[in-house]
Amino acid sequence: MFQVDLSGKKGLVMGVANQRSLAWAIAKPLAQAGARLAFSYQGERLKPTLEKLTEELDRPVLLEADVTNDAALDQLFGQVADELGGLDYLVHSIAYAPAATFERPFLHTTRDDWKTAMDVSAYSLVAVAQRAAPLMTPGGSMVTLTYLAAERVVPHYNMMGVAKAALEATVRYLAYDLGPQGVRVNAISAGAVRTIAARSISGFADMYSHAGEQSMLRRNITAEEVGAMGFALLTEQLGGGVTGETLYVDAGFHAIGMFLPREEA
């Protein structure tokens, strides 16, 4: 019933660091369905990895951009317009907070660390949406990645949790502004997946094993499950009625109000 053919569609995927990245998990089904993709990466060191990853894709476009740099973003979207001639899909899969914010109590968050985490992890969605929206026609769609620590305290997540709360609110306001243009904006709240960004969070191993033991499905989720939901939210045929939403791909973990000791769970 739902054969989705994305031939002629174009997407920009931001935040592929390697084959484990959630952005790559979303890019794969888009490419398999026929979409042509551009990828943006931060720093030349990632280019060889991306070249290797994307070598089987149809004319991939690889572009460098640090999302904290407005001039770099202007250049990126100019290149996307030139190379792809428009945009149907945007994947924003980018976050950063200084390592110290995961290690010390939230109480001791510094002004600089607050600004950095908010800039890279939340404001960047506004900055890219401003530049992506003019390239989109009705049916355009944007997806970002968030985490439960936006609404609940998850030990160690600290400043990144606050930044994710801002990101989720940002999704709603952008969806409101872009709705009249027929462009949708959504977030996927993903369960723990072993990626580079996740592994750099102090306490991630505990988060990962707790979620695997205690989630409703009694397992961790996979990057492919995030990719499938990203595909659904991005494509008009599947996600056309959904915007301004934070959708959980976390094996039901977010909806549990009380955790029993493991042997009873």
Which chain residues interact with ligand NAP by CB under 6 A? 15-17, 21-23, 42-43, 46, 66-68, 93-96, 120, 145-147, 190, 192-193, 195-198
Select 93 or 215, whichever has its Cβ closest to ligand NAP: 93
Given 41, 89, 96, 157, the catalytic residue: 157
To the query of whether residue 157 is one of the catalytic residues in this protein, the response is yes
CB of 259 to ligand NAP, least distance (A): 19
φ/ψ of residue 154, rounded to 5: -115, 115
Select 34 or 256, whichever has its Cβ closest to ligand NAP: 256
Select 4 or 15, whichever has its Cβ closest to ligand NAP: 15
To the query of whether residue 123 is one of the catalytic residues in this protein, the response is no
What's the per-residue H, E or C state across the chain? CCCCCCCCCEEEEECCCCCCCHHHHHHHHHHHCCCEEEEEECCHHHHHHHHHHCCCCCCCEEEECCCCCHHHHHHHHHHHHHHHCCCCEEEECCCCCCHHHHHCCHHHCCHHHHHHHHHHHHHHHHHHHHHHHHHCCCCCEEEEEECHHHCCCCCCCHHHHHHHHHHHHHHHHHHHHHHHHCCEEEEEEECCCCCHHHHCCCCHHHHHHHHHHHCCCCCCCCHHHHHHHHHHHHCHHHHCCCCCCEEEECCCHHHCCCCCCCCCC
Select 136 or 197, whichever has its Cβ closest to ligand NAP: 197
Select 93 or 170, whichever has its Cβ closest to ligand NAP: 93
CB of 111 to ligand NAP, least distance (A): 19
Given 41, 89, 96, 147, the catalytic residue: 147
Q: List active site positions.
A: 147, 157
